[in-house]
Amino acid sequence: MNSDQIGFAVVGTGMIAGVHARAIGEVEGAELVAVVSRSAERGAAFAAKHGARMVVDSVEALNPREDVQVVAVTTPSGGHLDPALAAVSAGRHVVVEKPLEVTVARVDRMLAAAAEAGVHIMPIFQQRFSAGAQAAKAAVDAGRFGRMTLASCYVKWYRDANYYAGSPWKGTQAMDGGGALMNQGIHGVDLLQWLAGLPTEVSARTTRRLHQSIEVEDTAAANLWFPDGALGTIEASTAAWPGWSMRVELCGEKGSVRLEDGVITAWEFAEAQPGDAAILGGAAELGSGASDPSGISIEGHVRQIRAMVAAIRSDQAPEISGPEGRSAVALIEAIYRSAAAGGAPTTVG
């Protein structure tokens, strides 16, 4: 391996592991060195497909390697903590597919270990890297909305029964950590709190409308209270056929924006600025998982892997840090607490 390259290992061989491997291959200065798989057969097939040089059966088996600086964890959500801790203990940076983990307590263990070891944790929230999301964030930071009045997100997606039956961990409390919110809706939840800030209080209900065989919700709705007085809502489902674009809406006293799958579909401000018209429309450059999880593009992951490489070389925190990834889990956990209490208002911690 070229000494200028940042070496990656991918933990897991499923669909999202393939997205990570392909993204690593597209980033200049990054190289896929190893695959970690408990199945030698699956690991060998994955390595051959994606050009990795070796297969090992545990993260600890990477310890003698000096050519692996980053470990990408793509196991089921409730299995993120152990490989992340093993990587961190060896002084390696970690990329973790969303969510960081399925509870705030487990996330905090991961972040504490990384802080002690002096390494970076970067959660995958690729939707932040769309052109539309970047434009919306710039408008928020510039104060173009004035006082925010409403900030909401809607992830009305569809998954058929085979989606859950084909992967026994999906839809389970232990390994999925939740359903339509923790697995699918978390993309919109993260975007919303990144743009509008973290709500201080929520009131929510969850239910199973279609997928009765799973342990967790396939439909959820929550009311939000933000610290500045703005209100909002979150809706998420995997029972909304055929699956619509993920939508985030920001409305304020001086302007309103609607973002759908990373594309700005409404952009109206009381005080127009040069370039406003060019922001509207465009292609959904990161793809959409509305009706098929394989519908996402690797482009968002490419942008995040590139950001991690840049962070390591500059010895700076990555563009999305571990503590930022905690916020989405904390908000969803509060929604679940409220739903378990019959919709009682619950603080976000």
In this prediction, residues 56-85 reach a mean pLDDT of 97
Residues 285, 286, 289, 292, CA torsion sign: positive
Instruction: Walk across the sheet containing 247-252 and list its strands.
Output: 263-269, 255-260, 247-252, 148-156, 231-237, 219-225, 201-207, 346-347
Q: Which pTM does this prediction carry?
A: 0.96
Instruction: Specify the pLDDT at position 71.
Output: 98
- The residue-averaged pLDDT of 143-168 equals 97
With CA atoms as reference, report the closest residue to 61 among 84, 91, 87, 30. 87
Predicted pLDDT at 228:
96
pLDDT in tens, 240-261: 999 999 999 999 999 999 999 9
Q: What is the pLDDT of residue 54?
A: 97
Query: CATH 3.40.50.720 spans which residues of the chain?
Result: 6-119
Tell me which DSSP letter residue 95 carries: E
pLDDT digits (tens, 9 = 90+) for 290-306: 999 999 999 999 999 99
pLDDT number for residue 284:
87
Q: What is the mean pLDDT of residues 172-180?
A: 97
In what order do the strands lie in the sheet containing 93-96? 54-56, 30-36, 6-11, 70-73, 93-96, 121-123
Please choose, from the candidates 222, 221, 228, 223, the residue with its C-alpha nearest in 3D space to the C-alpha of residue 197: 228
Structure tokens at 28: 């200049």
Could you tell me where in the chain the CATH 3.30.360.10 domains are found? 127-293+328-347
Class of domain 127-293+328-347: alpha beta
Whether residue 140 has pLDDT greater than 90: yes
Span 78-96, mean pLDDT? 98
Q: How far apart are CA 106 and CA 120, in angstroms?
A: 17
Mean pLDDT within 31-55: 97
> Looking at residues 121-146, what average pLDDT do you find?
97
- Has residue 338 got a pLDDT over 60? yes
- State residue 3's pLDDT score: 62
**72, 46 Cβ separation under 8 angstroms:** no
* pLDDT for the residue 282: 85
Q: Which residues contact 64 (CB under 8 A, 6 or more apart)?
A: none
The domain 6-119 is placed in CATH, from the list 3.30.70.100, 3.40.50.720, 3.90.1150.10, 3.40.50.10490, at: 3.40.50.720
